[in-house]
Amino acid sequence: MIALAAALALAVSGPRIVSSVAANLDGDAHRELVQTVEVVQPNPYGGTQPLHRRFVRVMDESGGRSFAQRVSPVVDYVRARVVSLPSPIGHGIWYDGSTGNGGAAPRALGLVTWTGRASRALWRYTSSSSSLGKRFDGASARLFDDPARGGPGPEIKLVEGVHRAGDPTCCPFALQTSLYRLNAAGSAYELYSRRTVRRLR
């Protein structure tokens, strides 16, 4: 009976908070929490070990009640940080997630803002939506400043590995670099440069 109660408690317990950062995301009178949380899911592949999956959520309150909303996909591993964006946006949440291991692991990356009720994506990337399709071979992204051709706020540099049929799976054949900048309306990031460079062997 005690074991059953413990199992039930485990089943209904909320996500485990991995990290939590307070920031005023929506310009109201209080700060929201940007949290990375972990949930335990049954293993869909039939294994006995449950899967530990993570996502990013925002904790806010409305009418005196707190609520949480997920702002990233659910992945194996994810980090999040609060970044400064130009007025009137103020702050955004940059997340960097992956599923599985290895250089070509599927990635989930994004920059979202918080309206006080919901998240709004300025930019999102997942490997499955890559322009490379089946040639996808790993990706990473970061914020940077392009003083010459950038828009308001930081730019985003996405670097993707390009696979060539017949090549070993260890190493991308080439790297495709895509640059994104915030549009003048401040509503979305748009692609403004893309080039592919063959890697030296």
- Count of residues interacting with Ca ion (CB under 5 A): 5
Least separation in angstroms between residue 32's CB and Ca ion is 5
The single residue listed with the structure tokens 């908070």 is 17
Nearer to Ca ion, 25 or 158 (CB): 25
Of 43, 103, 116, 144, which lies in the binding site for Ca ion, with binding defined by CB under 5 A?
116
Q: How far is the CB of 111 from Ca ion (least distance, A)?
A: 18
Residue that has been written with the tokens 């317990």 in this structure: 13
Closer of 24 and 140 to Ca ion (Cβ): 24
Question: Any idea what DSSP says for residue 155?
Answer: E
Give dist(CA 111, CA 188) in Å, integer: 10
Between residue 19 and residue 78, which ones bind Ca ion under the rule CB under 5 A? 24, 26, 28, 60
Residues 6+ apart with CB under 8 A from 110: 72, 94, 95, 121, 123, 124, 125
Q: Spell out the residues 6+ positions from residue 80 whose beta carbon is closer than 8 angstroms to its own.
A: 19, 21, 34, 36, 56, 72, 93, 94, 95, 96
Q: Which is nearer to Ca ion, 115 or 177 (CB)?
A: 115
Amino acid at 152: P
Nearer to Ca ion, 28 or 167 (CB): 28
Closer CB to Ca ion, 26 or 146, in the complex: 26
**Of 40-48, 80-88, 103-111, 114-122, which part binds Ca ion (CB under 5 A)?**
114-122
Given the rule CB under 5 A, which residues bind Ca ion? 24, 26, 28, 60, 116
